[in-house]
Structure 1
Amino acid sequence: MWDGGKFTKYQQGEYTFTIRQFAPFKAIKVLGDLQKIISPALSGALSGLKKTPEADTNNFLSLAPILSDALEKLAYSLDGDKLQNAMEILLDKNYVSVEVVTKNGTKNFTQLDEGLINEIFTGRTFDLLALMVEVFRINFMDFSKLSSIPSGVREVFGEIKSPFREN
């Protein structure tokens, strides 16, 4: 098993998570599976952008039509099974761990398995979604290493990344 990759700490409330970058083959598989979920939302956002090309990215009301169209497309294409599948592939216990306090009071990182997910995130579904977004961001939103593609394409990727950076 691959044991490389960069580890990133992520603080969410009282919990500290470590997220390891996916191995290249896993990253491609995850991206392929997730694009079925993400593409409709991007399509909706682009159709909303066509309606309001002068949208100010610093003004929420200006972004409302874009977000509305993205969410509408996502609502038609996303169901509970797809969302659960996304959670399972993003929160792979071999790549995400959480700091827990042991019985003797020491802190150790342990794999984020289904039991810990239930323990930590029951009643906190949006925090679970935020962790999923963070895993996605760490694995797929670093466009600084795209040295072999044209700079114009890198700039487009940078624009896609900016809403994630703001949140």
Structure 2
Amino acid sequence: ELGAKYKNLQRSFVEVDEDAGETTGYGLSLRLGDVSVTTERDVVHRRDAGEILKTITSLGVNYELGNVGVLRAGYEYVDLDTLVAQGKKGSTTSVGMDFYIPGGTITADVVYSGEGALRSPWANLGEEQGGERSTSIGLGYKMDNDISVLLGYKLVDFSGMEAEERQATATAEFSIRF
């Protein structure tokens, strides 16, 4: 099974975040048996100025484990050229598992985000590149599409930054959606 999509999201109100813009993107998906692969490329831009704010490329792989659940892995890369001046995260790697149980699904996820230069192939592996890295762990229970409970923990590590800018931060999250 092969799929394709195109999206064009336009702002319908004034954004609080000046870095927000309109998004245009496309994606492809391929499903072969129990394995599905998706890739997307989105460009966030300001239509008025014709300025590209960032380009996001993502790749995801899902593996169906029969009636047990789904194993998920993904990678998202934000174009560094636009982010260097902004000092924002460049890439995100995620691994997760959905476990099917009677009456719902239990979801477990681990997400690692950081400056793209930390993991780019052309970066010197032994050198400290600086910047922010964060790790998130989530555990959720979804009863159906409308009711879910999430318990999350996020650790932000600034150890690669200058001493006066360093401070590790941990956050915990509990949310109920219905």
* Global fold match (TM > 0.5): no
Say which structure, 1 or 2, has more relative contact order (CA 8 Å, 6+ apart). Answer: 1
TM-score normalised over the length of structure 1: 0.27
TM-score normalised over the length of structure 2: 0.26
